[in-house]
Amino acid sequence: MVRLHIDYDLCSGNGRCYALFPDLFTDDENGYGQTVDGGRVSDHELARRATLCCPEKAITAEE
Amino acid sequence: MHNTLTGPGTETVSDIPEYPMARDPRCPFAPPPQSLELAASKPVSRVHIWNGSSPWLVTGYQEARALFSDSRVSVDDRRPGFPHWNEVFAATVHERPRSVFTSDAEEHTRFRRMLSKPFTFKRVEELRPAIQTITDDCIDALVSGPQPGDLVAALALPIPSLVISRLLGVPYEDAEFFQEQAEIKLARFASAEENAKRSLVLANYMAELVEAKLADPAEDAVSDLAERVKAGEITVKEAAQLASGLLVAGHETTANMIGLGVLALLEHPDQLAVLRDATDPGVVANAVEELLRYLSIVQTGQRRIALEDIEIAGEVIRAGEGIIIDLAPANWDPEAFAEPDRLDLRRAGAEQNLAFGYGRHQCVGQQLARAELQIVLPTLFRRIPTLRLAVTMDEVPFKHDRLAYGVYELPVAW
């Protein structure tokens, strides 16, 4: 199990995370990403791809 | 003069390849073979462009990602040494207003914010039923017409322009006029005078639309821009320019992805079946990502300039040197995508493609483009399962001469 985290100092609302990984993220009122289910993901490879999709490097995964 | 253009190391001017490079007509979906050869030897290397300068060409996937999100890399096309696309772009650089495409940092953020609201995920999701209806109507018109029909004229061009007119908030009764004006501008043999005339007609129309939305706002992109006018941030003319920009950026590009995507799928029937038979939206979404990667239609490189010295891939890009990030070879980098020359709609990680760019300047309309492709492609093959190419591959007119790759016409039968 890993936990995904969005750093809102870096997030600029590009929306790639929730467009590409709708099971892991959703959007808020202003188009910023939010993690789903507290960011818990069991598939490590999926979590890794999710961190890579962010152009602002705002998404991190913790074991 | 030429000696100063020689790169570091031992290469001489004559070793430096010319850019842009030509595709091989026998492999019309592949990036130019020379760009792949270059990529195989070095992810960052020098090329010659039209004005005799030798900017850096970036063909490696990791290097492209790194430079796209590096704040030492600028899009400011007024800086000396900027590797312009061609003579016309270079000559008119001081006539063009600063825009979202040519501004950095805070100035860019200001422009970008004005455009991001109409493209939020929610807005795009709300457009899906309208995209489906537009798609079904265009397919109805195609199948009720004569065979062969031209898929570009029947679907690829009208669908994106009708969708953009919905996004902008063009009234229903003006949609046909708007679509006609937009399409004439993209005609293969349109004269410069004709283009200038259409641009003026569209600019005037857009300014009138901004005025109309100022008086009577709705939930659409032009109303969002009118709000910025009301707040005193931009003028009506600037709002009209931004609205026209959305049409320019989203029309031909999406049209090319539809036309070229249909052709690529017809040439790969096993892959076509994956998309046609998919019931899981995730499978459709991944298929679209793979088509975006495989076809990489933006073909003449994203132009940048270094603000400071940048060390990358064993080279040093000096401050003031031009950088061209070439999306197609980066999307065919075997380090990032195994067997990149294989169209594999089930490819894991296809969404990591750079088709929309990356970083601050990545395509603002990418969610809309994805939604359109996710709807148009499966709908077409489900509704016309017998769709086939009505000419041979060598008779298909490819857009080798445009900023975005695609097909001018696609004669199909069923």
Contact between B368 and B130 (Cβ < 8 Å): no
- What are the phi and psi torsion angles at A48 (to 5°)? -65, -45
Considering CB atoms only, which of A27, A52, A53 is closest to B120?
A27
Spatial distance between the Cα atoms of B31 and B21, rounded to a whole number of angstroms: 9
Check CB contact under 8 Å for B351 and A31: no
**Helices (H) and strands (E) in chain A — how many of each?**
2, 5
Token output for B147: 């065979």
Which is nearest to B60 in space by CA: B352, B351, B340, B333? B333
pLDDT of residue A31: 79
> What is the DSSP pairing of strand B44-46 with strand B56-58?
antiparallel
Mutate to test the interface with B, among A10, A12, A14 (most CBs of B within 10 A): A14
- Closest Cα in chain B, distance from residue A34 (Å): 13
Grouped pLDDT means (10 residues each) for chain B, 414 residues = 44 78 95 97 96 97 96 96 92 85 87 82 91 98 98 96 93 87 77 81 93 95 94 91 86 96 98 97 97 96 97 98 98 98 97 94 92 98 98 96 92 98
Contacts of B68 in chain A (CB under 8 A): 55
Check CB contact under 8 Å for A19 and B289: no
Contacts of A13 in chain B (CB under 8 A): 116, 120
Q: Which pTM was predicted?
A: 0.92
Half-sphere exposure of B394 (CA within 13 A, CB side): 1
Check CB contact under 8 Å for B367 and A15: yes
- What are the phi and psi torsion angles at A24 (to 5°)? -105, -25
Contacts of B61 in chain A (CB under 8 A): none
**What is A2-62's CATH number, 3.30.70.20, 3.40.50.300, 3.40.50.2000, 1.10.533.10?**
3.30.70.20
Which residue does chain A place closest to B71, by CA atoms?
A: A56
Contact between B409 and B152 (Cβ < 8 Å): yes
Sheet hosting strand B411-413, strand order edge to edge = B149-150, B411-413, B388-389
Spatial distance between the Cα atoms of B256 and B392, rounded to a whole number of angstroms: 19
- Closest Cα in chain B, distance from residue A55 (Å): 5
Domain range list for chain A: 2-62
Residues forming beta bridges with residue B44, ordered by sequence position: B58
Check CB contact under 8 Å for A49 and B117: no
Token output for B272: 């076509």
ipTM: 0.78
> Residues A36-54, buried b or exposed e (16+ Cβ, 10 A)?
beebebeeeebbebbbebb
Q: How do residues B78-129 score in pLDDT, each as one tens digit? A: 999 999 999 988 998 988 888 888 999 888 888 888 887 888 888 899 999 9
| Terminal Cα-to-Cα distance of chain A (whole angstroms) | 7
- What are the phi and psi torsion angles at B73 (to 5°)? -105, 125
Residue found under tokens 């430079």 = B67
Contact between B254 and B160 (Cβ < 8 Å): yes
Q: Does A13 touch chain B (CB under 8 A)?
A: yes
**What is B2-413's CATH number, 1.10.630.10, 1.10.10.10, 3.30.465.10, 3.40.50.150?**
1.10.630.10
Check CB contact under 8 Å for B116 and A19: no
- Closest Cα in chain A, distance from residue B144 (Å): 35
Token output for B166: 């919905």
Q: How do residues A1-44 score in pLDDT, each as one tens digit? A: 999 999 998 888 888 899 889 899 998 877 789 999 999 999 99
- Closest Cα in chain A, distance from residue B299 (Å): 21
CB interface of B with A, residues 68-87, below 8 Å = 68-69
Domain range list for chain B: 2-413
Q: Does A52 touch chain B (CB under 8 A)?
A: yes
